[in-house]
Each structure stands twice: as C-alpha cells, then as structure tokens.
C-alpha cells in the first residue's frame, strides 16, 4: 500500500482505540511546512481542544539538518524558514503560546523527540498538518505508533492542499494523470464542497497557566545559518531585501496582486520582464500563506463568486494555484515519481548525458542562449525564476543539452527560495517528458522562438545579461546568429553551446531509442 493510504488507515485505526486517552496538562501543536497563525487547520484544532480542556497550548518546531539535506534545501530557503520562525515565535508570544525549537540530529530521532516533549509537558494530544512526501509520511507513521504506545494521540489535518489528495477520481475510480480533466473535477469539487474554502480560525489566547508552567519555553533562540561560500553576507542581505519574511508580507503581496495584477494575469503571466505574477511561491512553500486563502481571496474578487466564471485573469490564476494541488495528488498516489523515477518505467531506458562542462555552463548562465542565461542568472541572484523561464531552461537542459533532468531538478532545489519537492519534481517531469502525461515528441521548446515571443523587446535579457545590454533589435535573442557578433564577442558573451535544430533531432532520437521505437 502507498505510504499515504497506510498512514490514513493507521490514523483511523488508532483513533478508534484512543477513546480512553486522558486529557493531559497541555496540548501540543507541531509546526512543519505551515509557519502561520492564519488559516492553519491543525493549529485551529489544537487551540480549540486546549480551550475545551482548559489547558495551555504549547507549540514546537523540529530542526533537522538531515531533512534539509534530503530535500536539498537551499540556503535561501533555510534562512527564509528561520526568519519565519522568529516572526511566528513573536506572534505566538502575543497569545501567550510558547514556541519551542528543538534540534534533531536525524529523522530517526523525530518520533522519540516528539514523545519526550509531550511527556515533559504532560500532553496527551499532538496536532500537526499532513505532509505528503514519502519520508515525511513514514516519519509520521512511526511517530503515531511511538506516541500511541505512550498513550498520546497524534492528530493530522489536511491543510496544505485546497482539495486533499485522493478526493478526486476519474470515472473509473482512478487517480488522474492528466491535469486538464483533473482541474475540471477539482473546480466542481470546490464549488460543491464549501468547506474546502472555509478558512480556519486564528488560535485563541492561551490558558493563564501557560507562562507559569512553561515560562522557560518563551523567547526561544532562533537558529542562524552560518555565513559561508554560497551564503555570503552580500547575497544574504540581497535575498532578505527581496524576500521579507512573514505572513503579513504574504498577505499584503496577495492583496496587492489581486488589486493590481490579477485581472490581466491571463495575458501577462508569460512575460518575464515585468512582475506580472504574484511572487507568492516562497510563502506558499514555507506555509506562511495557505493555498485555500489564495483561492478564496481571488474568488472573492470575482463578481460572480463562482469557479470558472467571471474574470479570466482570476480563473487562470486559480488554475495555476491548483497545479500545486495536482502535483501533491500525484506524489501521494504515485510516490515513486518523486523518488528519481520516471512515471512510465520504459522512460528509464533513456540514455542521458552527464557532460560536466555543459552542466556548468547551464548552471552559471553561460550557454550562449540569452534567454536561458538570463533566467539562470535571475535564479542564481534572487532565488526565484519566472515560470515561463523555468520551462525554457528545463527543456533546454534535457532536450538541447540532453543532460539528465535530475541534475537540473537538484540544482533548482539548491538555489530556489521556493524549492518545493512536489512542484519542482512535477515541473521537471513535465519538461523532461518523464512525469505524468509525458509528451516527448512535441514538448521541445525552441529557445529562440520562446525568447522572441515572450521577451520580444529583450528587456528581460538585458536586465540579467549585462554583456548584451547595448545590443539593439532582434540580435538580443541570438547575438551570434543575428549580426551582433562583434559586440557579444567584445563583451565576452559565449557562443551557443549547441545548434538547436541538431539537438532537437538528437533529443527525438534519444527518446525514440530509449523507448525502443
Ligand atoms: P503565480 O503565477 O502567481 O502562481 C501562483 C501560485 O501557484 C504559485 O506561487 C505556485 O504556488 C502555484 N503554481 C503556479 N504555477 C505552478 C506550477 N506549474 N506548478 C506548481 N505550482 C504552481 N513552484 C514552486 O513553488 N516550487 C518549485 O520548486 C518549483 N519548481 C519548478 C520547476 C520547473 C522546472 C517548473 C517548470 C516549474 C516549477 N514551479 C515551482 C512552478 C512555478 O514555476 C512557480 O510556482 C511560479 O513560477 C512561482 O511564481 P509566482 O508565485 O509568481 O506564481
């Protein structure tokens, strides 16, 4: 059975056996990728129970370097998480709820650590929100058993998706592998289940004994990322300026986007030179904003308040937010796709290249394809890349350089501030045609055409590739092929690593022979 299904049935079984559990002296909220007070289902449930039992709510967060390593978490994202923890601690403090941060050397120690905390605080109930990654599901299964043996109940809430994984089925009762029909069903489900957009309440102020009994837990120290090669002070300061932390920042970005940009989102979302998208992905990824809040807020901007009617901009944006749910549903149902394996086994036979020089040029934005180089430099310098450009550079890595998509997937996680396991894996699977719904024969992007179409006047390229800033006209898209050779050479801009037409043919052959065609 899938880890997700196993955990669900184990939770149901344990819940049936726990009617005799006692109330305890506190209730524990375990924060994970849900670093917010607003619309947090597990937090709401934990707070309600604490009030019902008339005991304090105590919050905890476990820092595990092994987890960061396993998910190849970038320094920008780790720092973003730490900055969020600081604000969360202060927000909880205003409600007299302590936040205790514990270092855990490895994942194996997590279940015992949570049990020890519960025992130290006299808690009989621990609340958290589901995480759908395989290792996290397995960790939660072990935690559930460890807590159960100590007569502590572990409650998990579905919170990170608008529609929980497993809720949407095809006519024949299967999981959808194709986004479009899945999204139609998603829209119908959300419209006919108003509870899916019901926002959870903020926690209430804590029981008066919280400061008396748990005084030592207040004002915890926040971990700090050591400054090193990659995480140097200049880079850190720039990232912190571009991406201020906190749910306040996330909410104000959401409302500004919905007031100013969302109505034109359908037309403008593919143009990378302007900030036409919400830039909310880092906040959704650490959970300082919920996708439910995004969809509800956007829908409330719609005159008709119904899914798929009214503003095209709003509907298109909601359909993008839904991609996040889609990839989580895929991950929960076919966990192996997020474990370095193609969706269809026959795609395992494709012979990828591992050319280090090509890979380094791609990473550093020195491929000689200006749109690709601009995009890679945007990510290297800001921790974020525009969605259209993510598709362009991913297609370029797999289908022009024929490099193993897993190298690109990892490099993204090492550098993105919004690195999200399911969405990143889904995006790479889509671009490399190894994920659900693979389309190797027509999903090959021509970087030059993409550049002309989506960065027509070259503003995005000029911004990120300063060597080319003096090139006027069409030469900006292909300096060596379109008469800007002298200037490009003078400024040290490299020649194209490959000829797209030839690579395209090679990619088609590579897929065909891998698939035995
Ligand atoms: P908006 O256009 O404003 O969309 C709103 C939200 O919807 C986003 O914040 C995001 O949470 C969600 N969303 C939008 N498009 C997608 C999508 N295609 N897949 C999943 N969710 C989506 N997104 C991540 O959050 N983390 C990743 O690690 C990540 N890696 C990617 C890798 C590749 C190769 C590709 C092609 C896409 C990847 N995406 C990833 C999806 C997408 O590029 C970003 O979510 C988007 O660019 C974020 O910008 P925004 O917040 O302005 O998005």
**48-63 tens-digit pLDDT:** 999 999 999 999 999 9
The string of pLDDT tens digits covering residues 8-35 is 999 999 988 876 668 899 999 999 999 9
Q: What is the pLDDT of residue 70?
A: 84
**Cross-sheet strand order for the sheet of 57-63:** 99-103, 57-63, 26-31, 123-129, 153-157
Quote the percentage of the chain above a pLDDT of 70: 97
Mean pLDDT in residue range 390-405:
97
Residue 303 — pLDDT band, cuts 50, 70, 90?
A: low
Q: At 513, is the pLDDT very low, low, confident or very high (cuts 50, 70, 90)?
A: confident
DSSP secondary structure, 470-491, as one string: T--GGGGG-TTTTT-HHHHHHT
Tell me if 269 CB under 6 Å of ligand 1: yes
Is residue 197 within 6 Å of ligand 1 at its C-beta? no
| Mean pLDDT for the stretch of residues 178-205 | 97
Please check whether residue 36 is in contact with residue 169, taking contact to mean a CB–CB distance below 8 angstroms.
no
Nearest protein Cα to ligand 1, atom 9:
281
Is the alpha carbon torsion for 39, 383, 388, 348 positive or negative?
negative
| End-to-end CA separation in angstroms for the chain | 33
Which residues contact residue 228 at a Cβ distance below 8 angstroms, ignoring those fewer than 6 apart?
A: none
Mean pLDDT of 455-483: 97
Q: Of 86-90, 249-253, 260-264, 287-291, give the lowest mean pLDDT range.
A: 260-264
Judge whether 73 and 107 are in contact, CB under 8 Å: no
- At 327-380, the pLDDT tens digits run 999 999 999 988 888 888 888 888 999 999 999 999 999 999 999 999 999 999
What's the pLDDT score for residue 207? Answer: 87
Q: What is the ipTM of this complex?
A: 0.99
CA-based nearest residue to 156, from 296, 299, 295, 3: 3
279, 387, 393, 395, best to mutate for ligand 1 pocket (most atoms within 8 Å of CB): 387
Nearest CA to ligand 1 atom 12: 321
pLDDT on residue 166: 96
Pocket of ligand 1 contains residue 287 by CB under 6 Å? no
C-beta of 416 in contact with ligand 1 (< 6 A): yes
Looking at residue 348, its pLDDT comes to: 87
Total residue count of the chain as it appears in this document: 517
Distance 423 CA to ligand 1 centre (A): 7
Q: How far is the CA of 286 from the centre of ligand 1 (A)?
A: 13
Segment among 177-186, 334-343, 373-382, 403-412 with least mean pLDDT: 334-343
* pLDDT cut 90: percent of the chain above it: 85
CA of 418, closest atom in ligand 1: 26
147 C-alpha to ligand 1 centroid (Å): 36
pLDDT over 70 (residue 156):
yes
Neighbours of 57 (CB within 10 A): 30
Distance between CA atoms of residues 409 and 423, nearest Å: 10
Q: Is the CB of 301 under 6 A from ligand 1?
A: no
Q: Which stretch of 222-231, 305-314, 376-385 has the lowest confidence by average pLDDT?
A: 305-314
Binding site feature residues for FAD: 265, 277-281, 317, 320-327, 418-420
Helix/strand/coil for 415: helix
pLDDT-derived band at 310, boundaries 50, 70, 90: low
Whole-angstrom distance, CA of residue 320 vs CA of residue 312 = 12
Among 115-129, 139-153, 292-306, name the one with the lowest average pLDDT.
292-306
Is 83's pLDDT higher than 70?
A: yes
Query: Which residue from 264, 281, 398, 433 has its CB within 8 A of the most atoms of ligand 1, so it is best to mutate?
Result: 281
Name which of 177-191, 307-321, 465-479 the model is least confident about. Answer: 307-321
Distance 126 CA to ligand 1 centre (A): 32
Contact assessment for residue 382 and residue 463, using Cβ atoms and an 8 Å cutoff: no
Task: Give the Å distance between the CA of 514 and the centre of ligand 1.
Answer: 29
For residue range 232-261, list pLDDT tens digits in order.
999 999 999 999 999 999 999 999 999 999
pLDDT at residue 308 tops 60? no
- Cβ(74) to ligand 1 under 6 A? no
Mean pLDDT of the chain: 94
* Mutation pick for ligand 1 pocket among 253, 406, 423, 434 (CB with most ligand atoms within 8 Å): 423
DSSP string, 323-348: HHHHHHHHHHHSGGGGTT--SSGGGG
Structure confidence at residue 309 as a pLDDT band (50, 70, 90): low
Q: Ligand 1 centre from 385 Cα, in Å?
A: 9
Known catalytic residues are 320, 323, 352, 387, 405, 428
> Would you state the pLDDT for residue 302?
74
Nearest atom in ligand 1 to 321's CA:
7
162: exposed, middle or buried (Cβ count in 10 Å: 0-12, 13-18, 19+)? buried
Q: Which of 299, 236, 242 is nearest to 82 (CA)?
A: 236
Is 24 close to ligand 1, i.e. is its CB under 6 Å away?
Answer: no
Measured at the CA of 119, the angle between CA 113 and CA 124, to 5 degrees, comes to: 110
Are β-strands 26-31 and 123-129 bridged in parallel, bridged antiparallel, or unpaired?
parallel
């Amino acid at each position: 059975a899938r880890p997700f299904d196993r955990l669900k049935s184990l939770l149901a079984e344990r819940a049936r056996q726990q009617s005799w559990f006692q109330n305890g002296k506190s209730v524990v909220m375990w924060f994970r990728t849900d670093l917010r007070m607003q619309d947090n289902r597990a937090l709401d449930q934990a707070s309600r129970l604490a009030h019902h039992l008339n005991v304090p709510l105590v919050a905890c967060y476990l820092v595990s370097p092994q987890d960061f390593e396993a998910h190849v978490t970038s320094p920008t994202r780790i720092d973003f998480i730490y900055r969020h923890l600081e604000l969360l601690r202060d927000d909880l403090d205003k409600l007299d709820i302590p936040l205790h941060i514990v270092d855990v050397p490895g994942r194996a120690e997590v279940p015992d650590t949570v049990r020890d905390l519960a025992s130290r605080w006299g808690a009989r109930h621990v609340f958290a929100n589901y995480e759908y990654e395989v290792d996290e599901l397995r960790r939660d299964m072990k935690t559930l058993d460890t807590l159960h043996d100590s007569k502590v109940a572990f409650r998990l809430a579905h919170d990170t998706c608008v529609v929980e994984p497993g809720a949407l089925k095809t006519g024949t009762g299967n999981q959808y592998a194709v986004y479009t029909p899945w999204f139609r069903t998603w829209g119908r489900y959300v419209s006919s289940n108003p509870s899916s957009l019901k926002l959870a309440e903020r926690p209430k102020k804590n029981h008066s004994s919280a400061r008396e009994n748990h005084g030592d837990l207040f004002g915890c120290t926040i971990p700090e990322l050591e400054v090193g090669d990659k995480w140097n002070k200049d880079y850190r300061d720039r990232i912190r300026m571009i991406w201020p932390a906190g749910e306040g920042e996330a909410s104000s970005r959401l409302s500004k986007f919905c007031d100013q940009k969302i109505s034109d989102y359908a037309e403008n979302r593919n143009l990378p030179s302007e900030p036409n998208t919400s830039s909310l992905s880092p906040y959704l990824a650490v959970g300082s904003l919920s996708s439910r809040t995004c969809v509800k807020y956007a829908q409330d901007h719609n005159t008709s308040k119904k899914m798929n009617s009214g503003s095209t901009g709003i509907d298109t944006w909601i359909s993008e937010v839904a991609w996040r749910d889609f990839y989580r549903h895929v991950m929960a149902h076919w966990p192996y796709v997020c474990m370095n394996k193609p969706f269809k086994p026959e795609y395992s036979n494709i012979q990828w290249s591992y050319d280090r020089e090509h890979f380094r040029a791609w990473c550093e934005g020195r491929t000689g394809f200006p749109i690709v180089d601009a995009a890679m430099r945007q990510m290297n310098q800001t921790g974020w890349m525009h969605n259209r450009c993510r598709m362009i550079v991913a297609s370029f890595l797999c289908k022009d350089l024929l490099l193993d998509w897993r190298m690109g997937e990892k490099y993204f996680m090492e550098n993105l501030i919004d690195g999200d396991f399911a969405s990143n894996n889904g995006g790479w699977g889509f671009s490399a045609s190894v994920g659900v719904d693979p389309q190797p024969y027509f999903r090959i992007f021509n970087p030059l055409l993409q550049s002309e179409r989506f960065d027509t006047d070259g503003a995005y390229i000029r911004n990120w590739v300063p060597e080319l800033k003096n090139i006027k006209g069409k030469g900006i898209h292909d300096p060596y092929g379109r008469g800007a050779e002298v200037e490009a050479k003078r400024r040290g801009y490299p020649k194209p690593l490959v000829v797209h037409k030839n690579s395209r043919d090679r990619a088609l052959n590579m897929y065909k022979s891998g698939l035995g065609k």
